[in-house]
Structure 1
Amino acid sequence: MPPNPPLKGQQLLSSSGLATTPPPAPPQLPPSHRRSARKREGASLPWRYLGYVGYYVGAGLISGAVVHHPMDPARYSMIAGSGVLVFLIATVLNDIILATEKPALSRMLRVLGTSTMLSFGLGMLSGGMQHFADLPDRCAVLIPLGIVLSFVAYFLKEDKRPWRRIFGLMGLAVLVVAALTFAGLRHIAPAMAEGAGGGHSHSDAETKKDNDEGHDGDHGSGTADPTSDPTTPTKDTHPSEEPGHEDGHSH
């Protein structure tokens, strides 16, 4: 005689029991391993802080150098080089030394090259925004160029397939924003140049310096020649001879 088939309710209970089986729990690290991982993370925290300080200091040095470079090329080239060096040291510290997985040589070279691009892009963007009221024509070029350069450099550094983003919809949006920014800043730059003035206007400072040098030259040419002053003749008399004594003994 064939066995009785299972009831419909029993089938539902068995299927529901299979459906509610919890997934296997991930393996837990031993407490000693967790403590050592937290200890390593805490020990690296001050170094990560120094790395982030290096990022901001390096970008700040570059931002000032790219704006003021035409005023003193030799001086501001040295400042920009110092900023790039500080930024690269911070990159090596955060992305290579303190990284959980040590990158290959090709990845290290890519990180260093794109970090240099990123530092200049951020410097152009921040420096142009800061000094637009002082140098509107120059900063109208630096700001959109900094937007594009920082975008390209960041995705080359961080994304595994950067070209899809750079030449995709996001890259097109960044390019449109940069173009509109350039057009808008070039439109208001003449008005900013006419109204530029105040304590940090570099063009006014250079003009004032030239005028002061011209005034100093005028004052120097207008002084009288000390050799042309009339001199008062002096008597060649003996120190012991006095006019009264000379009259009293006149024979």
Structure 2
Amino acid sequence: MTSTQLLGARTPDAAPAPPAVGRAARRKQHSSRKRSFAARYLGYVGYFVGAGLISGAVVHHPLDPDRYTRIAVYGALVFLAATVLNEFLLTRERPGLPRMLAVIGSSLLLSFGIGMLSGGLQHFDDFPARGAVLVPAGLVVSFVAYVIKDADTPWHRIFGLVGLAVLAVAALALFGLREVAASKEGAPGGGHSHGTEGEPADNHGSAPEPTGPVPTAPAQGASPTPKPSSPAPTHNDGHAH
């Protein structure tokens, strides 16, 4: 090998020079990072806002079904929008259509499971009988939905040891919370009032209104009515006068 070939040969330790990055390219990368950060933040907040709307709607649904049905739909849409943003738009590997549908369906189920669990715990004192059912049901639904949503976990893990443990905890929670709810049925309500029908209004300690006739004061300038004079005692001693 000649000296020219030796000088032109690349040594194994030689690293390629990094490409030159101009000011415009750096601004573009910085702007892309800011957009990615804002998108991740919106996706993160969307999970909690959607689950919060669903939790309130699930618990308060009997009070106003039309209103809280709309709130539940809004919460589900917010949660699904956050799922699409986090799982499909911000990821480098986009799944196929079957996996996409499975993720969307399980995310919707997960949002309702979390809403049932958090809403039942938060408003248990207000709706004991309803909360006693929502808490264990939300625990089971959220676990099943998470297993389906997680791509790294096979679906048969639902019936594994963790699944059996979740089912056992849910059964114990159902039994225990029903007992607590039964003991709360005769107790007075807490401070979180929802304006249910048939509930007496609170007069905040004001004095009761009088039920009898209210005496009226005499008009100005009118003379008071004289009291009838009692008759003079009769002197009857048996002698005529």
Fold shared by both chains (TM-score > 0.5): yes
User: Are residues 1:72 and 2:64 paired?
Assistant: yes
SS, match of residue 197 in structure 1? coil
How much does 1:42 deviate? Answer: 4.5
User: Are residues 1:55 and 2:70 paired?
Assistant: no
Aligned amino acid, residue 192 of structure 1:
K
Specify the alignment match of 1:206 in structure 2.
197
SS, match of residue 191 in structure 2? coil
Output the CA distance in 2 between the equivalents of 1:28 and 1:192: 74
Report runs of 4+ in structure 1 exceeding 2 Å deviation: 27-33, 35-43, 159-164, 192-196, 204-209
User: How many aligned residue pairs are there?
Assistant: 185
| Alignment partner of 2:154 out of 152, 162, 165 | 162
Alpha carbons 2:125, 2:190 under 8 Å: kept:
no
SS, match of residue 198 in structure 2? helix
Describe the shift of the 1:45–1:180 C-alpha distance in structure 2 as closer, same or farther (beyond 3 A).
same
How much does 1:205 deviate? Answer: 3.7
| Alignment partner of 2:92 out of 92, 96, 100 | 100
Aligned amino acid, residue 143 of structure 2:
F
Alpha carbons 1:51, 1:91 under 8 Å: kept:
yes
Specify the alignment match of 2:143 in structure 1.
151
* 1:207-246 → structure 2 map (5 Å cutoff): 207-208=198-199
Output the CA distance in 1 between the equivalents of 2:32 and 2:92: 11
| Alignment partner of 1:43 out of 35, 38, 42 | 35
Identity of aligned residues (%): 59
Across the aligned residues of Structure 1 and Structure 2, the Cα RMSD in angstroms comes to 2.8
Runs of 5+ unmatched residues, structure 2: 1-12, 203-241
* 1:104-183 → structure 2 map (5 Å cutoff): 104-183=96-175
Describe the shift of the 1:196–1:66 C-alpha distance in structure 2 as closer, same or farther (beyond 3 A).
farther
Aligned amino acid, residue 126 of structure 1:
S
1:118-146 Cα distance to aligned partner (Å, 9 max, x none): 00000000000000001000000000000
Output the CA distance in 2 between the equivalents of 1:85 and 1:70: 22
* 1:186-205 → structure 2 map (5 Å cutoff): 186-202=178-194, 205=196
Output the CA distance in 2 between the equivalents of 1:66 and 1:105: 30
How much does 1:29 deviate? Answer: 11
Question: What's the TM-score once normalised by structure 1's chain length?
Answer: 0.66
How much does 1:207 deviate? Answer: 2.2
Describe the shift of the 1:56–1:161 C-alpha distance in structure 2 as closer, same or farther (beyond 3 A).
closer
SS, match of residue 207 in structure 1? coil
1:164-199 Cα distance to aligned partner (Å, 9 max, x none): 310111100000000001111011112223224233
Output the CA distance in 2 between the equivalents of 1:125 and 1:103: 29
SS, match of residue 194 in structure 1? coil
Aligned amino acid, residue 191 of structure 2:
G
Output the CA distance in 2 between the equivalents of 1:140 and 1:105: 38
Output the CA distance in 1 between the equivalents of 2:17 and 2:167: 48
Output the CA distance in 1 between the equivalents of 2:93 and 2:33: 14
Output the CA distance in 2 between the equivalents of 1:99 and 1:29: 30
